[in-house]
Structure 1
């Protein structure tokens, strides 16, 4: 048996741990493994190399992806998908494991509909996939954001300011939500909740009246640019307001313990699913258990907003 593995879309801490688990589990079970470089672009171009136990040595702790990644406009076309399926057949790759986010999983589904045997693994820092409780890279991104908040809070306190901290998350505000809760942010601005800036500013002023010397506002990027919010908040509160965009540092860095374990479990179970001929699925962690869900079914599952966490954060930040 021969399998291929690729990483696609935005990189996420833990992808290397997942690649390592896939390669070592496959070799243990006497399955050949081929690495496809640069995601679907590399698949289209036949940028494919065999992987060994030594190929994945010393990568468990590394961020990013040793297979590299890219976004391919051509792959999104019918001709691109057909060409990719032909390349898999040309290289004798019987099963493909795709690690990535929503777009990557839709690509896996397109290949499956052409007859390819595919297993998906959710790897994206946004945690925006409804079929799994957590995606690879999310916990590390939150930890990175929390570390930044702690540093920003020191200087914000020293100057008696408000600071708007912008994190990634276009349609899903989980990074802002979880980092805001654990970082004690005074306000959260998320795509899932209608923004009432007057109410937020009133809350900030009430905190100041109770003796708070500084405040942190967490902003998910899908709600707009932090600079605009800084101007509006300062106008409404008359408190000096600065902003910070954490940007791509959220994608880098050594993966957390949770992400290493999550990635390892998912990579391991993906190979076992292939060995049992249970393909056409995506791996998911739900309530602490790992299972495979049919790709098409999984992609139709809506992402459920954690209103309970949002409500708790609002209470604890008074």
Structure 2
């Protein structure tokens, strides 16, 4: 292995740049050449590949997003697109590829691996829904951004006797919502993994009002059956009995845009270095993640074919702590 490439794919996550930096610099120590790929798999197909040296990644450790860019690529989902991507890699003499991203990105990694190209994935998604890593790059920063928003909303809510439905990211996984609700002292949480009756949420708000609370917070995952908008519409019919004036706040991509905190910088650095080490020992077709505080590898076949489950005991804890 003398020449490798690195790309970022899917949704950006705070810490991706730290992972890119770690890949480049740990590879350079081994005397390898590193190339960057612009705009994920789309750039790979189009041959947007360029040299990336150790000094080129200086000053990016603390930056959010990804300097390489990311884009969706419908063409890469086809076999023809995958073969074009491999052809681009071969034209540049690249012998191994590091893919930093979440579920969709690692599905792409597996496709390249099945075609015989040496590829290693790095676990990165703010949803924390990727099998093969207890926590993924970007989660901690996104969670702290959501928590800061909740803390701010509680202040203004108390001033006006309001309840806020706060929607956080989580299309298929309620991890962010669940952790934000516990850390933020929310009255209720709504996640995709647990069916929730809106009337139960209404009753929780009423009980909070009757206890004399000046505010109430409900954290909602965007992918829940009743997201914040739907819950807001439901509660319109029951506003009189809630006690609180109700508002909906959708955080959306604000959670993606923060500069990575210390935890994500360290996690990304460890996983990026781990990807280079996996390539060096010839361990291809794996995801590098963090399992029980250790940098570990999981076959991409397992990563793609399994769904990561959240600990529902934490959901029960959130209910008890309201």
TM-score scaled by length of structure 2: 0.96
Q: Which residue does the alignment assign to 2:174?
A: 173
Q: Does 1:282 align with 2:283?
A: no
Query: Which residue is 2:60 aligned to?
Result: 59
In the alignment, structure 1 residue 230 sits paired with structure 2 residue 232:
yes
Whether the 8 Å CA contact 1:170–1:220 is kept in 2: the answer is yes
- CA distance in structure 2 between the partners assigned to 1:85 and 1:31 by the alignment: 19
Distance 2:116 2:126 in 1: 30
Q: How does 1:85-96 map to 2 (within 5 A)?
A: 85-96=86-97
Q: Conserved in 2, the CA contact under 8 Å of 1:231 and 1:241? A: no
Preserved CA contact (<8 Å) 1:205 1:237: no
Task: Verify the 8 A CA contact 2:170 2:222 in the aligned structure 1.
Answer: yes
Q: Deviations over 1:82-132 (max 9, x none)?
A: 111111111111000000111110001001111100000111111111221
Q: Tell me, which stretches of 5 or more residues in structure 2 are unaligned? A: none
CA-CA distance at 1:233 after TM superposition: 2.4
Give the Cα–Cα distance (whole angstroms) in 1 for the partners of residues 230 and 319 of structure 2. 23
Could you tell me how far apart the structure 1 residues matched to 2:216 and 2:258 are? Answer: 27
Is the aligned partner of 1:23 residue 2:24?
Answer: yes
How many pairs are equivalent?
A: 317
Contact kept? 1:161, 1:242, Cα under 8 Å: yes
Secondary structure of 1:146 counterpart: helix
**Partners of 1:218 and 1:297 in 2: CA distance:** 31
> 2: distance between equivalents of 1:227 and 1:117?
44
Give the C-alpha shift of residue 216 in structure 1: 0.4
State the Cα distance separating 1:225 from its structure 2 match: 4.2
Alignment partners' CA distance in 2, 1:174 and 1:227: 19
Q: Counterpart of 1:162 in 2: which secondary structure?
A: strand
Q: In the aligned structure 1, how far is the partner of 2:307 from the partner of 2:256? A: 24
| Secondary structure class of the residue paired with 1:128 | coil
Alignment of 1:233-272 (within 5 A): 233-238=235-240, 239-272=244-277
Could you tell which deviates more after superposition, 260-269 or 231-240? 231-240
Structure 1 residue 316 corresponds to structure 2 residue 316: no
- Retained in 2: the 8 A contact 1:201–1:237? no
In structure 2, the partner of 1:161 is 162
Instruction: Tell me the SS of whatever aligns to 2:278.
Output: helix
Listed as ranges, the gaps of 5+ residues in structure 1 are: none
Please give the root-mean-square deviation of Cα atoms over the aligned residues, in Å.
Answer: 1.1
Kindly state the Cα deviation for residue 155 of structure 1 after the two structures are TM-superposed: 0.8
**Residue 306 (str. 1) matches residue 311 (str. 2):** yes
Asked if structure 1 preserves the Cα contact closer than 8 Å seen for 2:239 and 2:246, the reply is no
1:81 aligns with 82
